[in-house]
A and B are shown apart, each in its own frame.
Chain A
């Protein structure tokens, strides 16, 4: 079985500050990893994905994530956030079952 843990339910940050949203996973097989963003009253939008190759993955809107196999982590980072980044962020993993499992989400709140 696979699982995803998003360690922070809410992350408040000031505009233009850096941010890291944490994600840890467990799986008995090699995995593909994803980060999605969900704005209010909208569906999920893919931010970035790790399938193979370089462990540093760059996505849309200036976000990046690093796959760390030894720590089973896939943390999401942005060096300088904007008010418009306020949203819910979901980490997801797909492994042996091929069905993606989502974390519970982290609410990023950017203050002016």
Chain B
């Protein structure tokens, strides 16, 4: 089966510009996650979707970040406007199971964002 697909792989923008990341999860995976991974750190959850519903978004900086998963399949994460501190790798993951076994996730390759 195809893995989690993310695009673009790399993005360089100036601060205050908008940016968007796209993710297509593994077919049949209803749960989708967006993580941010800062250099030398583990992934930190930004938002989790169950189908098209955002069920965990407490860590999403809602003043500048937004996400959508309109048809419960692919998803877009947007930052507007970007700040220097947003430079990181943005990872998308999906899982088939729910509950505590959600830790069994499948990750995409990530988008490395550099804000200058």
Contact = CB atoms under 8 A, between A and B. Distances in A.
Interface of A: 4, 31-34, 36, 41-46, 49, 51, 90, 92-95, 98-100, 102-105
Interface centre among A41, A93, A100, A102 (most CB of B within 10 A): A100
A34 B106 CA distance: 12
Contact of A94 (B4, B41, B100): B100
A43 B100 contact: no
A34 B103 contact: yes
Contact of B104 (A43, A49, A90, A104): A49
Contacts, number: 66
- What range describes how many residues of B lie at the interface? 20 to 34
A99 B48 contact: yes
Contacts of B6: 43
Contacts of A90: 42-43
Interface of B: 4, 6, 40-45, 48, 56, 91, 93, 98-110, 112
8 contacts: A44-B107, A49-B103, A92-B42, A94-B101, A98-B98, A99-B48, A100-B102, A102-B43
Contacts of A36: 107
